[in-house]
Amino acid sequence: MSRIRQTFEKAAGKPRFIAYICALDPDAATSLEVCRTLIKAGVDIIELGVPFSDPLADGKTNQLAAERALAAGATPDQVLDLVRSIRSFSEVPVVLYTYYNLVYNKGVENYVAAAQNAGVDGILVLDLPPEESDEMTTACKNHGIDQIFLIAPTTPESRIPLITRNASGFIYYVSREGVTGERSDVAKDLATRVAAIRKTTDLPIGIGFGISNADQVRQVALHGDAVIVGSSIVKIVEQHASDPNTMLATLEAKVRSLLEGLQ
């Protein structure tokens, strides 16, 4: 049984908390301490953004994080080194949030095999449509890695079964149109959209994009099996990049406050 599945099965009806950060932002050593802090604060799954020069699904906050990491010399192989370091002290599931150019450049089978060897539990390829994902699906199944797919508010209901057919781990529901980033409110149609997804799959549904405070976490948790928070966490890394001690203390406090929304 995969670590992701175990994490949801242990939940006993309580939604899980998934934290997104850009790997290696602002540098490798600090990024490892960020991961350690998130785990200490109580996150259930870590989603590592693989730094990429054209992160088309990401808003300004996450774009700048990728730029900082790349400026510090980040490579996909170093992201896997980060996962190995996490595995030295934690079994918290790790999902790679990446783009297909990075996978294709290494070779799909090689990329997935290397991810599995490092201790990765799931891979979400942002710009890989299900119609073109057979090679990735086969590689993930061969190496016991969950393949996670996105469903958006604009996804026609007739298309949802195509997306969920080869998915595993969980479904990532993008609750808002557009790119990542903090929002002042929660989408109004969550109940309807999540119900449409549940008609086609028994997989847990994680809901993300725009969630930034405990009240929003509480609202989203009424509908999903996991709440995914990214930009508001990444922003703390940005604001305190020159002062790691303050960064880590602020991160821990922020995550603990977000987790209050699941109480």
Options 27, 33, 44, 58, the catalytic residue: 58
**47 catalytic, yes or no?**
yes
- Note whether 206 and 224 are within 8 A (CB): yes
- Note whether 220 and 186 are within 8 A (CB): yes
- Note whether 164 and 203 are within 8 A (CB): yes
**44 catalytic, yes or no?**
no
The residue type at 1: M
**Cα–Cα dist 80/86, whole Å:** 10
> H helices of 44-200, where?
60-71, 76-87, 100-106, 108-118, 134-142, 160-164, 190-198
∠ Cα 83 88 105 (to 5°): 20
- Note whether 97 and 55 are within 8 A (CB): no
Options 44, 47, 121, 182, the catalytic residue: 47
Rg (CA), the chain: 17
Output the CA torsion sign for 115, 178, 22, 86: negative
Collapsing DSSP to helix, strand or coil, 151 comes out as: strand
- Which residues carry out catalysis? 47, 58
